[in-house]
Structure 1
């Protein structure tokens, strides 16, 4: 069953596992478009156009030089039948290699669709290492992960219910968790020193519930306190059950809780909760990620009525173990919606590692980089090759040019998986990380007519995707700000979206010195 946002309690967690959407507001501009030509087989864009005046003004106000902005805006289809060249409406710093943050997920998801197929499934398998008599397994129960990017609490509970339906209600041995499908090390230091932020959760061959705990706060004004609950259950976890309500404003409500996560199994909230907040949820990465899966598995096995004599531990599946059942994941076509719309980092890394694990050996970042590189050179000959690290954009080393991203977007739109790929992107002002555009661009033709992937790092603000112009022409748009003041200039990205959508003004002809 596919769980939709309205009834899936893990929707907010999936969103929290990504980086923040663009949040700054900015003025709008409708500038006269420039139409030029760009030979996409060249190492760089030979044609460039002046940036719209409003964009230049925003950059100046934020003290960001125009050289910190890379842009390519090009109409679809990709190539002119007459010349074989790509018509470009706007190009600026198109061949400059920059870090586009989470926009890098476009490479991972499109490569996944191309190499694995939209119907690709991950299969979590359960084995018995011993005979089963009268509901009792005399031996170990082995749960072998496949790298499923979204094995959340509801699906894990269904899996354990199926185990019981297969005849195992008591395990007189251990429950063994086999995550050997991936060969990855846990990150020694969290990204930007934020270990409890869900976006820092690392990949795992048996990734359960994103290694995160969601704390739910439900006020009871009549009793003057807020009830604190958590999901999923973890064996031995104790949490402060309730807190007093306060009349404080809801801003910065998490700080007011005075949370203490220093002891992984003893979570304390020593402050108060603002009554004005209503019901809220707080997703937190579990402080001891290596212990998370065993604690969740133990609690949930007992939660469905199962009995266990031994312990829950990590290990490998014995060769003689007998397959009891397998549980398929959601198809890749659904998985990439969470990756792109919600900018889910760990799901992107799971998919990226699967590019190599599906070849038979344990998935490794290095091997996935090789496979994606080979795919890129075959599918995009002559185009500048992107530099990937973990496939999510949560990296300081990942790089691409606006030119390469444009080539990918153009080809994806013309390919057999175009509807699936476009549907995975956030719709401007409607959903995902682009929902806030409705507030920043009210009454704009962009709203509901752009399909976007956004990106954000400390010194990066980016957006890429498709924009429907008022003329009926659809465009690919790639814009990356790479500067310490990037976030102060994010309004420039909104202005580029607006400028692209307002394309009904007759284009001016390129000056002779710019024509290729």
Structure 2
């Protein structure tokens, strides 16, 4: 049998007669044709402008559904630092093991009795690792408690954060930006991402900008006003000369440009270890509740009675925030929740998947163990498990190969809940972190690419799905690990555009 003639890329299988072309395409459908090893011209040109060598680049474009052939492969078997693209591993593992309808519970329990509007005993708040326990949901929980007769706590409010066991965390250790909310540490009782939201509202009649803040933090004094000045907005945060020296105060030694109008500045609270205590007391009192004791950390005693349970948003909604907006602390909450699973049950899990329940204390090392077991069970020995750290990509040590990530993305697209996973990604030129790409009027990728982006000091990456002009959905993976990586972002955007424009 002569096979040497069947070595052409699908783009080269053009025959004079349309029916003959269709016959040949059908005959070749089951063959794995070789992928192109040369990067697309627009991508190569962008790399040259960024002064990034092709040896620092990885790229893979492969169809979701077999038996169609790969279209591009470049250094796809080399482990790379994926930055925030690693969130794809965390979120897909969670979807597969827990299911899209999985929820976290924040429980309110007592060892006392409720009588005539008073709780005679302690109120225990046991965190379950809810990744999005924001102010509105906590306030709703407190109001629900008061509706059940708990308006005065004649005892302490005890915060039980034992569902996670975490190492000491320096929020400025990674990049020196301790006040950036993305550096917030995870917590079994993660209240409002441990952030303080400052709003500056100019009042020209009085020559000041009023400072509003949320949530109310017990024992934290914040300057109520800052002087207005007439000048361009510029770096208005620097102009404020904000001081975060102590846990008990936020001061402003500078001024606020009137030309800025109203601005919002979310900052990570300077003493994250006391955030839960301060915020829970502040929110309880702001919601109309009274407390005779103190708010403190502690454990829930055996036999405590459940008064109320605040259920989180479902996992399917949580992974949307994680992937579209690259929320680091939410990703770590999900990652730590996986560490609460039994690796033995992960090993032996059979269809239907997605119904495991947390059984133990979550730790980072346990999460890495569970992911490794899950990966081996799901993907076999063909693809080595990724090297995980915190599951968010905010790491210098996490590693994965592009071909391993592509295999994950292909499996995710075919998963029973795969549509939820795809919809959790940013849409090129439309939403999330990919909204700023594919903005030109002639972009083929705009609205046709579902992507996760990632950026660190020496890393830029992109991975996801692209619907091409030829009607095929492709998995597209691209990474640059190089000191000039941020300048090479246009090269990865060119890769996505190339994939979107693939003809028949």
State whether TM-score is above 0.5.
yes
1:348 aligned to 2:331? yes
1:417 aligned to 2:405? no
1:467 aligned to 2:450? no
Gaps of 5+ in 1: 1-31, 37-44, 81-85, 507-516
Q: Secondary structure at the match of 2:386?
A: coil
Matches within 5 A, 1:59-98: 59-77=47-65, 79-80=66-67, 87-98=69-80
Rounded to whole Å, the distance in 1 between the matches of 2:395 and 2:212 is: 33
Rounded to whole Å, the distance in 1 between the matches of 2:500 and 2:324 is: 21
| Distance 1:48-1:370 versus aligned 2 partners, 3 A rule | farther
2:41 to 53, 62, 80: 53
Shift of 1:56: 1.6
Rounded to whole Å, the distance in 1 between the matches of 2:443 and 2:224 is: 46
**Residue correspondences, number:** 459
Q: Secondary structure at the match of 2:365?
A: helix
Q: Secondary structure at the match of 1:87?
A: coil
Shift of 1:273: 2.0
Rounded to whole Å, the distance in 1 between the matches of 2:12 and 2:163 is: 49
Shift of 1:154: 0.2
Specify the alignment match of 1:118 in structure 2.
100
Specify the alignment match of 2:309 in structure 1.
326
Specify the alignment match of 1:21 in structure 2.
none
Matches within 5 A, 1:234-249: 234-249=217-232
The answer to whether the 8 Å contact 1:58/1:489 transfers is yes
The answer to whether the 8 Å contact 2:459/2:485 transfers is yes
Rounded to whole Å, the distance in 2 between the matches of 1:104 and 1:276 is: 40
Gaps of 5+ in 2: 1-8, 14-32, 341-356
Between 469-478 and 314-323, report the one with greater CA deviation: 469-478
Specify the alignment match of 2:295 in structure 1.
312
Structure number with greater Rg is 2
1:229 to 212, 215, 223: 212
1:174 to 134, 143, 156: 156
Specify the alignment match of 2:134 in structure 1.
152
Specify the alignment match of 2:476 in structure 1.
477
Rounded to whole Å, the distance in 1 between the matches of 2:265 and 2:441 is: 29
Specify the alignment match of 2:4 in structure 1.
none
RMSD: 1.9
Shift of 1:92: 0.4
The answer to whether the 8 Å contact 1:59/1:66 transfers is yes
Specify the alignment match of 1:451 in structure 2.
450
Shift of 1:486: 0.5
Q: Could you tell me the TM-score, scaled by structure 1's length?
A: 0.86
| Distance 1:147-1:49 versus aligned 2 partners, 3 A rule | same
> Deviations 1:352-410 (Å, cap 9, x if unpaired)?
11112244110011111111111111111211321111110011111101101100111
Rounded to whole Å, the distance in 1 between the matches of 2:279 and 2:34 is: 56
Instruction: Identify which of structures 1 and 2 has the higher relative contact order when contacts are C-alpha pairs closer than 8 Å and 6+ apart.
Output: 1
Q: Could you tell me the TM-score, scaled by structure 2's length?
A: 0.88
Rounded to whole Å, the distance in 2 between the matches of 1:57 and 1:247 is: 45
